[in-house]
Chains A and B, each alone.
Chain A
Amino acid sequence: MRLLAACVEGPMSPFCGSGPVNGTELTVYTAIFWGSVALGSFVAAMLVFSFFRFRRRSDDEPEPVQVHGNSRLELTWTAVPFVVLFGLFILSAVSLFFVNNVSASPKAASQVQDKVLGEQFAWVVTYPNGQQTVGTLYLPVGTPVNLSITSKDVIHSLFIPELLGQKNAVPGQVNTAWLEADQPGVWYGQCTELCGYGHYSMRIEVVALNYPDYNACVNTGKTIVTTSASCTKSGGSGS
């Protein structure tokens, strides 16, 4: 897995993420990855083998043996993929309950509740004490943060691949999603649902801070409008 991760490391790659939600998503990804590599390369190898092995040769009979089917074989290749896919589905379904619901976290009791509003073309975060930041989301390290996400205008999608995955911001509806950072750092997110001409620029910076720094940052009572966080002096280096 490390090998694959090495080739796709970047500031927005889920392989460089942090926290339990990202970990769960990567576990399912890894299972599907190896399942599909095994099944896919087997079938691809058989296909390519048959292209070469059964090429027409000059000494071929005008017609090879005419085989019309084989029920037992066909049953096998119906049943085997079914079992594999069903197994992957069970793993997905179990993980989904964890990913979708902050109360599945063992630390749910200490959760922080933030509100995220998507608008053309920025993310506005409102913290429990009423302070707002635009373009930045501050997190306390090691604490689950539950986001109530909605939109002021069109549909957006809050995509933070390294911590959250994503959830749509839909006008007239509040969706929830949660994330938790294991260590201090800076991560990035972007809108993944086309929302107009500024769609490409609708980014968000996610800054995880230890509690003293976090408290200092979100207790100023001022609305911070920035895309390069002014509170990151102790944010450390992102992974």
Chain B
Amino acid sequence: MAVIDATLPRAVVRPRIDKTKGVMGWLTTVDHKRIAIMYLYTTVFFFLVGGILALLIRIQLAEPNNSFFSSNPVANAQIYNQIFTMHGTTMIFLWIIPVWAGFGNYFVPLMIGARDMAFPRVNALSYWLIPAGGLVMYSGFLFGGTGDAGWTGYVPLTEKLYSPQVGQDLWILGLHLLGISSMLGGINFLVTIHNLRAPGMTWFRLPLFVWSMEITSALVVLASPFLAGALLMVLLDRQLGTCFFDPSCGGNALLYQLLFWFYSHPAVYIMILPSFGLISEVIPVFSRKPIFGYRAMAYSMAAIAVLGFLVFIHHMFMTGLPTAVTMTFSATSMIIGVPTGVKIFNWLATMWGGSIRFDTPMLFAAGFLVMFLIGGIDGVYLGSVPVDSILHGTYWVVAHIHYVLFGGSVFGVFAGMYYWFPKVTGRFLSERLGKLHFWLMLIGMNLAFMPMHVLGLLGMPRRIATYPGGDGWGPWNSVSTFGAFVVAMSITVFLINFVVSMRAPKTAPDDPWEGNSLEWATTSPPPPHNFDVVPEVRSLRPVRDLRRARRAATAESASPA
């Protein structure tokens, strides 16, 4: 009978060392860190593509009666509709949602002290479905046009009668692949977080980023099937002549919206919760204080997730639902502001009395706080049905989503890029270029999106290909277009920073920021097996504990006996 040596570390997953070198090594890898790096490259690539589409949109709208894509007004509008549809779909499904899966892939196992994700092969599959989904969706450009009904793809517009092009089917199939990727990834994260935590890593010692990935994954697993179902029904209507949504043969046009938003409102939180988690890591580290109200931060994320399922009707306030229904969802939409407010106040309190160092990650976190505040407050207007009546479907809504998703999620992503870059590569991104990137992006986004509030109040509908000159929309659109190009410059600075920094020597130490969570306990970059010895976790900030113990030991040996 074997005797179990109680002194051995308890972690049991045997590290998978990739023996294959070179390109084949990357193509066949099941290592969570390599998969994560591929996730990040792929999603940043799609971010750039989506960004170029955004610039095309802004060029077309820069002035009244513009015909940038074609001198034929019908063709011009058809191309415009494809471009903003692909812009929205790309930014949501090929950038923000999977980029967090990428960060989660790299850092969830490290932060909980695990050797890998629970299902490494499934993990590789979830990654490979992303480029596949993207290619299927974009291949529409080769077959007479992509989907052009917006990222929401409302029926009956997506029915074959109104969108006959095969690109609309490819759009649906591409989204299906991305949905499967999300669900597999979500299950993988849940199993990993539930089963592979290091000794002592109790639920209330989990880093808040891990909490955010846990909650996000639960949302993904619960909500994504509704999107898959709705899209499948559209596909059946289009290809097999079923009649789910066409009222002329007994279908219901609003049924799609119910199913779609039952996924897509929680999806908003799928996009923003990981950002909340990341910001909750960055602010304490750079303020030298513990997160204020740790449990409230975890609970408020859970509350947002639960409420996130109960607000989706606010996307349908104008569809003619009974007053009692819209009123109920107006109440929940406003109440969801409460846990969101708690988070902002707790981040503020974390910084209060702290000793804040404004390295680039912290700059992006600070930018996140103010921009997300604006986006969140915009949401309150839209939660009130009478006010929504004058704002729904206008550029005000476009302003709101960009303050939340660009000012919130994307600023969070870049905070993460600068914060974790030294861990992933062993190199620092340049602080000087990083700060330039930050200020250009902050100024650019406000120039691009603040005028959209005014455009909404001037009555400019979203998704219009062009507009006549008499409405006073021209000047504000020109400012917005200028802002979009400033944002593009900031991203260019980031790319230059990336290339320059990757050529620099590996100077990053294991723990450059004096971090709190376990990823800083291993080398930069971490070895394939992550940890030589998995550290024991005794508090919320195990790496701070280690640092203090080391300092105390040094001080003791230095002092004369």
The residues of A with any CB-CB pair to B shorter than 8 Å are: 7-15, 22, 24-25, 28-29, 32, 35-36, 39-40, 43-44, 46-48, 50-51, 54-57, 60-70, 73-74, 77-78, 81-82, 85-86, 88-89, 91-93, 95-97, 99-101, 120, 153-155, 157, 159, 161-162, 164-168, 170-173, 175-176, 188, 190-200
- Given the interface pairs A43-B348, A46-B348, A47-B373, the reply to whether A74 lies near B293 with Cβ below 8 Å is yes
Interface residues of B in 363-419 (CB under 8 A from A): 366, 369-370, 373-374, 377, 380-381, 383-387, 389-390, 392-394
- Given the interface pairs A8-B458, A32-B384, A39-B377, the reply to whether A197 lies near B338 with Cβ below 8 Å is no
Main secondary structure of the interface of A (DSSP, over half): mixed
Interface residues of B in 284-327 (CB under 8 A from A): 287-290, 292-296, 318-320, 323, 326-327
In the complex, B222 has a CB within 8 A of chain A: no
Interface residues of B in 343-363 (CB under 8 A from A): 344-346, 348-349, 351-358
**In contact, B390 and A155 (Cβ under 8 angstroms):** no
**In contact, B346 and A74 (Cβ under 8 angstroms):** yes
A-B interface pairs (CB < 8 A), number: 272
Partner of B370, one of A14, A47, A62, A85: A47
Chain B residues within 8 Å of A159, by CB: 393-394, 459, 461
Chain A residues within 8 Å of B392, by CB: 157, 166, 192
In the complex, B467 has a CB within 8 A of chain A: yes
**In contact, A92 and B157 (Cβ under 8 angstroms):** no
**In contact, B354 and A64 (Cβ under 8 angstroms):** yes
The residues of B with any CB-CB pair to A shorter than 8 Å are: 74, 77-78, 81, 148-150, 154, 156-157, 162, 247-248, 251-254, 287-290, 292-296, 318-320, 323, 326-327, 330-331, 334-335, 337-338, 341-342, 344-346, 348-349, 351-358, 366, 369-370, 373-374, 377, 380-381, 383-387, 389-390, 392-394, 454, 457-467, 470-473
Partner of B353, one of A43, A48, A67, A73: A67
Partner of A36, one of B345, B381, B473: B381
Chain A residues within 8 Å of B393, by CB: 157, 159, 166, 192-193
**In contact, B162 and A153 (Cβ under 8 angstroms):** yes
Partner of A32, one of B290, B351, B357, B380: B380
Partner of A55, one of B349, B358, B385: B358
**In contact, A13 and B458 (Cβ under 8 angstroms):** yes
Partner of B472, one of A10, A171, A191, A200: A10
Given contacts A68-B290, A74-B342, A199-B81, 7 further A-B contacts (CB under 8 A): A8-B457, A12-B459, A55-B356, A70-B292, A93-B327, A153-B162, A200-B77
A39 (CB) vs chain B CBs: closest residue: B377
**In contact, B387 and A25 (Cβ under 8 angstroms):** yes
- Given the interface pairs A77-B342, A154-B157, the reply to whether A64 lies near B355 with Cβ below 8 Å is yes
Chain A residues within 8 Å of B287, by CB: 54, 64
A37 (CB) vs chain B CBs: closest residue: B377
- Given the interface pairs A40-B374, A85-B335, the reply to whether A199 lies near B77 with Cβ below 8 Å is yes
Chain A residues within 8 Å of B457, by CB: 8, 13-15
Whole-angstrom distance between the alpha carbons of A41 and B154 in the complex?
Answer: 37
Q: Within the complex, what minimum Cβ distance (angstroms) separates A77 from chain B?
A: 4
**In contact, B154 and A194 (Cβ under 8 angstroms):** yes
**In contact, B323 and A101 (Cβ under 8 angstroms):** yes
Whole-angstrom distance between the alpha carbons of A9 and B357 in the complex?
Answer: 44
**In contact, A92 and B338 (Cβ under 8 angstroms):** no
A87 (CB) vs chain B CBs: closest residue: B334
- Given the interface pairs A36-B377, A159-B461, the reply to whether A171 lies near B157 with Cβ below 8 Å is no
- Given the interface pairs A44-B370, A161-B459, A199-B463, the reply to whether A25 lies near B389 with Cβ below 8 Å is yes
**In contact, B356 and A161 (Cβ under 8 angstroms):** no
Instruction: Name the 6 nearest CB pairs between A and B, nearest first.
Output: A172-B247, A12-B459, A165-B389, A192-B393, A175-B320, A200-B464
**In contact, A173 and B320 (Cβ under 8 angstroms):** yes
**In contact, B293 and A10 (Cβ under 8 angstroms):** no
Whole-angstrom distance between the alpha carbons of A44 and B342 in the complex?
Answer: 14
**In contact, A85 and B337 (Cβ under 8 angstroms):** yes
